[in-house]
């Protein structure tokens, strides 16, 4: 059973460190609780995983009364930031909130066009400036506009250049400063977008970003692919970054709140 569980965790992208930690705690507790029946042990294993996840999955629920509620979307290129910013905007719009999107990635014209097109498609207003504009000035104006128009939520897409850590720190801190200049309590959320498809590399990205800025949650994308999603466990348990939403496809509605219980159950679909 231990060997099977170890294989299951490793094949599901939990990574070596988390796998060993989980199995070690599991074995100790089995002895303590005197469990010898395999079926009971597996049920207990699932409970233990859920408990480990829940203990670290701590965050405050969004208080949308603080208008505008500002959400900053960060992450490296290609992980799905722009798509996710739009999915999130659509998600909140369906709940009845007024949402504004801001095209903070001003380095590539394709990035601005992508957000503007998505906004048009789903009837969500997008604030943008021409390519090459200073990203901080786009963000400054977007926060002011959201305040003027009394929008409930402002979602800011950013560029994902990760030249080096110093550069990243400077850029993120500049954005943070600019937002606070307009609205000292903002951004209320800083969501880090991570691609489940790149497995353990996501952990490294999460480490770098959380050492630069206070990440309040992560959104894990591309869980519809071959990725088994075990990295979610490390993001939450090891890095203490709560996973808030997941992306499960390219369509606007392929987006869900992260459900811990369903997540744990999904690993046992194979009939263990
Ligand atoms: N299959 C799948 N593809 C996704 C998901 N989220 C984003 N993508 C795709 O990933 C690619 C990069 O997304 P984009 O939002 O441009 O990434 P960015 O560079 O971080 O802004 C696009 O082709 C998206 O359609 C997801 O949850 N599942
Ligand atoms: Mg983008």
Give the per-residue pLDDT at 94. Answer: 96
User: 196-207, pLDDT tens digit by residue?
Assistant: 998 888 999 999
Tell me the mean pLDDT in the region 116-135: 95
Give the per-residue pLDDT at 271. Answer: 42
Tell me the mean pLDDT in the region 22-40: 94
H or E element, residue 182: helix 165-182
Partners of 245 in the beta sheet? 219, 257
Could you tell me which of 224, 263, 217, 221 has the C-alpha nearest to residue 241? Answer: 217
Cβ of 107 less than 6 Å from ligand 1 = no
Give the per-residue pLDDT at 51. Answer: 94
Give the per-residue pLDDT at 132. Answer: 87
Report the half-sphere exposure of 14 (CA within 13 A, side-chain side): 23
Q: Where residue 59 falls among pLDDT bands split at 50, 70, 90? A: confident
Q: Does pTM top 0.75 for this prediction?
A: yes
Least confident window among 57-61, 66-70, 99-103:
57-61
CB 222 within 8 A of CB 87: no
Helix (H, G, I), strand (E, B), or coil: what is residue 144? helix
Q: Whose CA is nearest to atom 14 of ligand 1?
A: 80
Query: How far apart are the C-alpha atoms of 22 and 16, rounded to whole Å?
Result: 10
Q: 219-256 burial string, b = 16+ CB within 10 Å, else e?
A: bbbbbeeebbbbbbbbbbbbbebbbbbbbbeeebebbe
Query: Which residues fall within 8 angstroms of residue 220, CB to CB, at 6 or more apart?
Result: 194, 195, 196, 202, 229, 231, 232, 235, 243, 245, 246, 247, 258
pLDDT at 63 over 80: no
Q: Whose CA is nearest to atom 9 of ligand 1?
A: 80
Cβ of 204 less than 6 Å from ligand 1 = no
- Name the percent of the chain lying above pLDDT 90: 76
Tell me the mean pLDDT in the region 25-50: 94
pLDDT at 47 over 80: yes
Cβ of 229 less than 6 Å from ligand 1 = no
Q: Where residue 107 falls among pLDDT bands split at 50, 70, 90? A: confident
- The residue that leads in pLDDT, 67 or 236, is 236
Least confident window among 37-46, 60-69, 118-127, 245-254:
60-69
Cα(43) to ligand 2 centroid in Å equals 41
Q: Which residue has the tokens 């960060």?
A: 74
- Structural domains of the chain, ranges and CATH numbers in brackets: 2-56 (1.20.120), 69-266 (3.40.50.300)
Cβ of 87 less than 6 Å from ligand 1 = no
Q: Where residue 269 falls among pLDDT bands split at 50, 70, 90? A: low
Cβ of 228 less than 6 Å from ligand 1 = no
Query: How far apart are the C-alpha atoms of 121 and 115, rounded to whole Å?
Result: 10
Q: Where residue 225 falls among pLDDT bands split at 50, 70, 90? A: confident
Q: Whose CA is nearest to atom 13 of ligand 1?
A: 80
């Amino acid at each position: 059973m231990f060997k099977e569980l170890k294989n299951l965790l490793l094949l599901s992208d939990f990574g070596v460190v988390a796998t060993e930690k989980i199995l070690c705690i599991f074995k100790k507790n089995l002895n303590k609780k005197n469990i010898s029946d395999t079926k009971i042990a597996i049920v207990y294993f699932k409970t233990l995983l859920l408990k480990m996840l829940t203990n670290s999955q701590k965050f405050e629920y969004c208080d949308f009364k603080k208008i505008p509620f500002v959400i900053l979307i960060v992450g490296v290129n290609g992980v799905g930031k722009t798509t996710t910013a739009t999915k999130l905007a659509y998600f909140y719009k369906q709940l009845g909130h007024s949402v504004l999107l801001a095209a903070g990635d001003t380095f590539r014209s394709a990035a601005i066009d992508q957000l503007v097109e998505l906004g048009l498609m789903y009837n969500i207003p997008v604030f943008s400036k021409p390519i090459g504009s200073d990203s901080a000035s786009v963000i400054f104006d977007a926060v002011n506009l959201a305040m003027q128009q009394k929008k409930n939520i402002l979602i800011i897409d950013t560029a994902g250049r990760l030249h080096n850590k110093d550069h990243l720190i400077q850029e993120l801190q500049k954005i943070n400063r600019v937002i606070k200049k307009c609205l000292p309590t903002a951004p209320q959320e800083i969501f880090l977008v991570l691609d489940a498809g790149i497995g353990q590399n996501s952990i490294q990205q999460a480490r770098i970003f959380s050492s630069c800025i206070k990440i309040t949650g992560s959104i894990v994308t591309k869980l519809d692919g071959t990725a088994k999603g075990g990295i979610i466990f490390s993001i939450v348990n090891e890095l203490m970054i709560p996973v808030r939403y997941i992306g499960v496809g390219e369509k606007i509605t392929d987006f869900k709140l992260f459900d811990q219980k369903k997540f744990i159950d999904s690993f046992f679909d194979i009939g263990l």
